[in-house]
Amino acid sequence: MVACDREHHVIDAVLSHVNTDEIHEHLCGHIQAGSTLCTDGHLSHDNLGKRLGINTKTLVAKNGQHVKDGVYHIQTVNAYRSDLKRWLNGFFNRVATKYLSRYLAWKRYLKTHIFSEEGFLDQISIHWVKQHLI
């Protein structure tokens, strides 16, 4: 499950079962009151807005719904998902499902933190040195 907003805040999780209870568990406390959650037509999203106390807009792409009321869409999350798949398939040679949450966390960190390539390499080397000095 991936949820993100236009400011690149990301919530992601590996779900055991795609259902309203599990999605609610991961989103609860992360979406501000008064927000609008845009979802696809999956049945697990039906009562999600009521349970979270927020507005929802459902868009069904196969019915040609890509934008609702001129501003509501799911293209931000679709772009994130596409970028995630491209990153996983291009950078790694397959990933183990049991470690998927770690890959999601790594991608979330890369997406939500602004850093230079040098700064990132510095962080990796500092971490590596600390581990090997112990």
Share of the chain above pLDDT 90, in %: 24
Report the CATH number at residue 82. 3.30.420
- In this prediction the pTM is 0.71
Strand pairing of 10-12 and 36-39?
unpaired
Residue in the block written with tokens 């568990």: 25
Instruction: Please report the beta strands in the chain, taking only residues with DSSP state E, as ranges in sequence order.
Output: 2-4, 10-12, 36-39, 55-58
Tokens representing 114?
């602004």
What's the rounded Cα separation, in Å, for the pair 94 and 122? Answer: 27
Q: How many domains does the chain have?
A: 1
Per-residue pLDDT tens digits for 43-82: 888 889 999 999 999 888 777 778 888 899 988 888 988 9
Domain span holding position 53: 2-133
pLDDT at 96 over 80: yes
Three-state DSSP state, 38: strand
Residue in the block written with tokens 């609008």: 36
